Amino acid sequence: MASAISIKKLERSCDEVSRILKALSHPRRLLILGHLLGGPRTVGELVALCHVSQPQMSQFLTRMKYEGLIDSSKEGKFQIYSLADPRLANLMRVVQAEYCKC
């Protein structure tokens, strides 16, 4: 039988995975993350790749940063966005391999 500590740890892991999957539940967020899987990008690059307006992209990026999916850094006058967690990169690779076969 699992110990109480193990069950609590499993519950925390399930909460974390549930939070991540909920954050991934929007097609544009998945598209953005897929492009970030290829490496860091600027807002302008993501706007062009995802075919959304700059204000829409800013809203997506703000929310995704708040949710811990992405990081950003300043390089000169540009804000550069990248994936925040290598585990998310692994998850996105699996999603692409299984569902993005073109």
Residue for token pair 């829409």: 56
Residue 5, pLDDT > 70, answer yes
- Contact (Cβ atoms closer than 8 angstroms) between residue 71 and residue 80: no
Q: Which amino acid is at 42?
A: T
Q: Give pTM, 2 decimals.
A: 0.85
Of 61 and 100, which is predicted with more confidence?
Answer: 61
pLDDT band of residue 1 (cuts 50, 70, 90) is low
- Quote the CA–CA distance of 63 and 59 in Å, as a whole number: 6
Segment 16-75, tens digit of pLDDT: 899 889 988 999 999 999 999 999 999 999 999 999 999 999 999 999 999 999 999 999
In the chain, the domains with their CATH numbers are 4-99 (1.10.10.10)
